Amino acid sequence: MSQLWTEIFNSNRWIPPALSRLTADGTASDCYAISIKGAEIPKLDSHCQYQLRACFYDAAYHTFFGKPWQSRWIDGRQRLTFDETLFFHTKFKEQAVVVVLELVARNVAQAGPNNDTPTSSAEQLVGWTVVRHYKLGRAIVDFSHQGPQFTKYLLNAGTPKILLLIQEPIDDNPQLLKSAGNIDVAIQTHRLLARALDFVPDNSIFGFMDIVPGLESAKRGSALANPVPREPAPSCVDSLSVTFGPHAERLEAELCDLINRDRLFKDNKRLADHKDDEMVVLERRIRVNSTFFYEIGGNVAT
């Protein structure tokens, strides 16, 4: 099923953490792997498809942040089986920083015009839970040493947005309704992920379907399970030509006008009395970033 650009953008957006959470550049990251086996819900609808989502939440500053993750859609059978492993690293070593898992459902009505793309209704949230990957006094086995030991987490009814309104402890808060089923989750450290810190941003959740440029592709599962960096390939750019199109000057004029109006509004001044005191562009700069190249089925992509 092809994705709309809005779906790709929303699934890969990165939301910065609270400013008070900024850490020093030399702070070491802790690497984790969260395995998810399956979920059980009271009323499993065979006419629905289900998806699992994950994101970071800071209970101390009441904010969601980082890069979220979404699983593939699976059909509703006797039991929901995801068999997913999520990988991430973070510099935040506090119990208030948690991972929120959401189970979402959509009703698949019928096949599309080509019998390959089903039409679906609006998505509905089935349940959600909080997973504390960092917890004082708890021994965690490394992902490379032992297989996952799953624990059942109760799913809360409603929406995780209620976290914005409640205080710690958020696990057993009486305002939460635990009546939406359970999900099997295992938390492990993942020291081998330290090899991929140059290729994976912090506070970003990746699954086995995500492609990480710069790492060798795994024959089975995710490349982040045992990351192996690719050999560097030196390259150079002989010439670079950039054009802004025929409307660049008009865009600059409109931008300066908006900035000028905003400035005068904050200073409580009239625009008509300050026509000569306007914002202008004094210098234009451009920054060009490089990216990785990787191959999919023999085709080179960025």
Tell me what the pLDDT averaged over the chain comes to: 83
Helix H, strand E, coil C: the string for the chain is CCCCHHHHHHHHCCECCCHHHCCCCCCCCEEEEEEEEEEECCCCCCCEEEEEEEEEEECCCCEEEEEEEECCCEECCCCEEEEEEEEEEECCCCCCEEEEEEEEEEEEEEECCCCCCEEECCCEEEEEEEECCCCCCCCCCECCCCCCCCEEEECECCCHHHHHHCCCCCCCCCCCCCCCCEEEEEEEECHHHHHHCCCCCCCECECCCCCCCCECCCCCCCCCCCCCECCCCCCCCCCCCCCCCCCHHHHHHHHHHHHHHHHHHHCCCCCHHHCCCCCCCCCCCCCCCCCCCEEECCEEEC
Which is more confident, 204 or 113? 204
Q: Provide the Cα torsion 90, 93, 96, 97; round to 10°.
A: 0
Q: Are strands 151-154 and 182-189 parallel, antiparallel or unpaired?
A: antiparallel
Q: What is the mean pLDDT of residues 133-161?
A: 89
Residue 149 inside a domain? The answer is yes
Spatial strand order in the sheet of 80-90: 80-90, 30-40, 182-189, 151-154
pLDDT above 70: percentage of residues in the chain: 83
∠ CA 279-284-289, rounded to 5°: 135
Count of domains forming the chain? 1
Residue 279 has pLDDT above 90, yes or no: no
pTM as predicted? 0.75
Q: Determine the pLDDT at residue 1.
A: 44
Judge whether 192 lies within some domain: yes
CATH of the domain at 161: 2.60.40.150
More confident residue, 25 or 152: 152
Domain containing 180 equals 5-196
- Tokens representing residue 20 in the block: 């008070």
Chain center to CA of 74: 20
Can you give the pLDDT at residue 290?
A: 64
Asked if residue 9 is part of any domain, the answer here is yes
Whether 216 is covered by a domain: the verdict is no
pLDDT tens readout for residues 29-75: 999 999 999 999 988 888 889 999 999 999 999 999 999 999 999 98
- Is 299 within a domain? no
Asked if residue 50 is part of any domain, the answer here is yes
- Would the pLDDT of 291 be above 70? no
Angle at CA 181, nearest 5°, toward 73 and 69? 35
For residue 188, pLDDT beyond 50: yes
The residue-averaged pLDDT of 119-145 equals 85
pLDDT digits (tens, 9 = 90+) for 209-233: 888 888 988 888 789 999 999 888 7
Please, which pLDDT band fits residue 88 given cuts at 50, 70 and 90?
Answer: very high
pLDDT at 287 over 50: yes
Question: What token pair was written down for 254?
Answer: 């409109």
